[in-house]
Chains A and B, each alone.
Chain A
């Protein structure tokens, strides 16, 4: 359960930092509003949707951290046979990176108010994300035809379930992206597009990060890094 505890400690640090700025040590029974002093809420209100997405990403992060915990615990049992990674995963990774870059471009474009660039970037992001998903399906097909089916070994189980879960999250993101893209054609000003584009970009970067993390676990980099840290600590 190391990875989920690590993830939750990071969240706890963020939460503590945030709470420490909320006056938790104040003595509300001594505050008197009629003295003409009224606590102001946060000076720059952030849109609720942005906060909502951040909290949602914490939930998704906890979901995958738990899966990775389960993975590392199951991995230690003797029947585990590591799975050969299909080379197409590297192409898929490139596609997902491109998709994320395109959405970053869309974010910059919407901030500058450039409509054409925005539309192009949104379409590019959508297409490369779809390419990533189809690539993942090809990877599944290759593995199955080579005899690495779902039930053959727990390593395979985890590969299919984790790629599947990641893909479903991206698919959900694509629904939001499609709605944003449709809005880009319909809404006359870019001002109202700013928030949805920013939210899509944040979500995409998160899913890219998550994918790189999963990939590093499968390739074995994560394990080597943890070993290195252990040696340094010892």
Chain B
């Protein structure tokens, strides 16, 4: 802390920042295509990721059509079904969720929320997007090569991923998938370095770490985790590519294929599982932590209440981030590992529930006696809490070895991870888009359409995934193209599957209302002004909306307070922006959390 000389208004003179040549684009191409403005890069990331998301949505429709009405659609044979599963999973987890939260929201919000003009390495940031785009192109190209995309399942377990019989295993599919992942990771590393170093180095005067909004904390922690976890996938991909292309035996055991012994020996498929899940489990939290952060900000803003237990929220984020690196083998309980390992990993898995539960309690206590506005972003944030608790509770079941072993490879697992890592983060993404769209475009999204979108999506998601838990408990296996002839499957299971499929089609179609809203409101939406939600954080205090390159005009903001001064006793307004000095609070600690 240092004493700062005060002006007559009690405000500190803002530091002058020299005009930067970069902030003046010279042509349309440098402004909108090869842009080095983090906000444009964010929109590019979001646009590509949402497009990939629509493709993955259609793939899920096709899968559901087969499961709900087996045999009716002749073009969905077993191979096509596995290809749809694989591409749907990989696209959603890596190319949609990771890219949207870190590339999209990270790029847009980090510089604005910490009062920076841009990312610290704008050129590298631009490269990051274009390399991501290349990775997407390589991935999509696998639909058009002989043999089609890989059908190995999104976990790509060897040896089946690279042997005959798996779609794309001996053709191009798996090669393109592995190359695309490697390219993605290179691109992400460039972006991730930017997010981390920008938070460390470019914060505005007065923006201590503990004054940062939780959104920034979430994205910062998740970026750091992703930087350390993605190399595991990279290493696995390199080794599998060698096995597939050059005939090495990293993962390939001695095996007989179609009656012929293969020229391999001794490789360890388990080694790949360790590498994959060393990436795969932190990945769950790479998606969840930004969602946690964003939800905290949405709830605080739309309930006009300071976040409860801000310190605990930060500590819990960090604890979850650290713990998530030592739970990976809970995905491998049925792989035949040492039972003591299972005991260890079950313990660490259950311990993660503690910081996570702290966050849930704090969200609820933030809402307690709040002035809750049921706007579209708030509805999505509230729905997230409910959904995350639901998915988290089934996670406690699956975290125990004795419960996991019988449930493993059933629809119960599918229902669990879709609730916790599919529906829940997607709800946050929608909420965040409804919340920040006015800053990006200067116009509000249509509220009636937004609420329609919300109710269909929210209720629909439960209609899809609740019955799936029941199917799983019944023993319906996952990954099966057709379960028609199994003796233990009652007719009601088929009826339920048909029901789920119909709801999935409706919920998918409802997303078109959202896409329509995005484009319609761009032109016809109500003008929002600079701060439509009357929020405290810095991104709402920019002199212009949407903010130009460089964000702040002549002066970068100076930060006087934390991000959650809502309904402060004695203040004129029910919110005090972070860059506003005074008034002194009536009683110290009155709004504490």
List A residues at the B interface (Cβ < 8 Å).
1, 4-5, 8, 11-12, 19, 22-41, 45-46, 48-49, 51-52, 55-56, 58-59, 62-63, 66-67, 69-70, 73-74, 77-80, 150-151, 154, 157, 161, 165
Contact = CB atoms under 8 A, between A and B. Distances in A.
A24 B311 CA distance: 7
A62 B279 CA distance: 11
A24 B209 contact: yes
Contacts of B75: none
Contact of A29 (B278, B314, B564): B564
A67 B235 contact: yes
Nearest to B189: A59
| Residue of B228, B274, B562, B589 ringed by the most chain A CB atoms within 10 A | B228
Interface stretch (B148-156, B370-378, B577-585): B577-585
Interface stretch (B261-269, B414-422, B432-440): B261-269
A37 to B, nearest CB: 5
Counting from the closest, the 8 A-B pairs by CB-CB distance are A33-B560, A79-B266, A28-B562, A63-B231, A34-B582, A48-B120, A34-B581, A157-B248
17 contacts: A22-B210, A24-B315, A29-B593, A32-B560, A34-B581, A37-B2, A41-B208, A51-B201, A52-B121, A59-B193, A62-B231, A70-B250, A79-B249, A79-B266, A150-B246, A151-B246, A161-B242
B475 to A, nearest CB: 33
B10 interface: yes
Contacts of B565: 29
Contact of A63 (B198, B235, B582): B235
Contact of A52 (B2, B120, B232, B275): B120
A208 to B, nearest CB: 20
A36 B246 contact: no
Given A23-B208, A29-B592, A70-B250, A62 B3 contact: no
A74 B268 contact: yes
B310 A28 contact: yes
Interface string B299-321: 00000001000110011001000
Contacts, number: 175
Contact of A30 (B558, B560, B583, B589): B589
Contacts of B58: none
Interface in B320-368: 322, 325-326
A234 to B, nearest CB: 19
Contacts of B196: 55
B248 A24 contact: no
B211 A28 contact: yes
Contact of A1 (B201, B231, B265, B278): B278
Contact of B318 (A8, A19, A69, A73): A19
Nearest to B190: A56
B449 interface: no
B201 A48 contact: yes
Contacts of B198: 48
Contact of A38 (B203, B242, B558): B558
A24 to B, nearest CB: 7
Contacts of A62: 227-228, 231-232
Contacts of B235: 63, 66-67, 70
B567 interface: no
Given A30-B592, A37-B3, A38-B560, A73 B210 contact: no
Given A22-B208, A73-B274, A30 B588 contact: yes
Nearest to B198: A48
B301 to A, nearest CB: 16
A4 to B, nearest CB: 7
Contacts of B231: 59, 62-63, 66
B266 A32 contact: no
B484 interface: no
Nearest to B307: A29
Nearest to B204: A41
A29 B306 contact: yes
B275 A29 contact: no
Contacts of B248: 150-151, 154, 157
Nearest to B315: A24
B250 A74 contact: yes
A176 to B, nearest CB: 13
Contacts of A31: 211, 561-562
A34 B584 CA distance: 7
B228 A11 contact: yes
Nearest to A18: B200
B311 A38 contact: no
A116 B315 CA distance: 52
A149 to B, nearest CB: 10
Given A36-B6, A40-B1, A23 B209 contact: yes
Contacts of B120: 48, 52
B561 A32 contact: yes
Contacts of B78: none
